[in-house]
Amino acid sequence: MKTLVRNIIVLALMVAACGTGSAVAQQLRDASMNYMGKIAPNGTVRNSEYSAVGYFNNDGTIANAKGKTVGRIDAKMQILDNDGNRLGYVNTDGSVLDGESRPLGKIEIKTGKVSDAEGKVLGYANGISIQRVAAYFFFNFFK
């Protein structure tokens, strides 16, 4: 579970670091550059089979595939569960930390490369905000 949360936070950060204002789908790829899924301009998260696995709403709430709210992203770049507990957050330099401020990884803002705390490449996110990348993994959208 610890590794899953760590990977989620790191990927969420990747997304936020690569944010753009364009209406192009935002792709997530694994360390081998294999396509994992995308986040559509309307906030729908889709896996590699094009099935909807979650949603990012404009007000910061995050919903699962059934539309049930599972958490939110606040203005301070924190990822919160439904009870308001901080699961993790992203710093402006792309570093990702867990809810207790322990380093989980980093998102390279210019390249979209996501790495864990030891520097191992986890994947790549293009055109996705860091917060969304982290939340994508925190809430197990691919499980």
The predicted pLDDT at position 17 comes to 41
* Total domains in the fold of the chain: 1
Assess if residue 75 is contained within a domain: yes
How far is Cα of residue 131 from the mean position of the Cα atoms in its chain? 5
Assess if residue 6 is contained within a domain: yes
Assess if residue 52 is contained within a domain: yes
Tell which wins on pLDDT, 22 or 83. Answer: 83
The predicted pLDDT at position 132 comes to 74
Question: How many Cα neighbours within 13 Å face the side chain of 65?
Answer: 10
Residues in the chain: 143
Assess if residue 143 is contained within a domain: no
The predicted pLDDT at position 1 comes to 46
Average pLDDT of the segment spanning 27-46? 88
The predicted pLDDT at position 108 comes to 84
The range of the structural domain enclosing residue 90 comes to 2-138
**Under DSSP, is residue 86 helix (H, G, I), strand (E, B) or coil?**
strand
Integer Cα distance of 138 and 73 in angstroms: 11
Tell which wins on pLDDT, 3 or 22. Answer: 3
Integer Cα distance of 53 and 119 in angstroms: 28
Q: Domain containing 132 — which CATH number?
A: 2.40.160
Average pLDDT of the segment spanning 40-49? 88
pLDDT more than 70, % of the chain? 73
**pLDDT-derived band at 84, boundaries 50, 70, 90:** very high
Assess if residue 9 is contained within a domain: yes
Number of other residues whose CB lies within 10 A of the CB of residue 133: 33
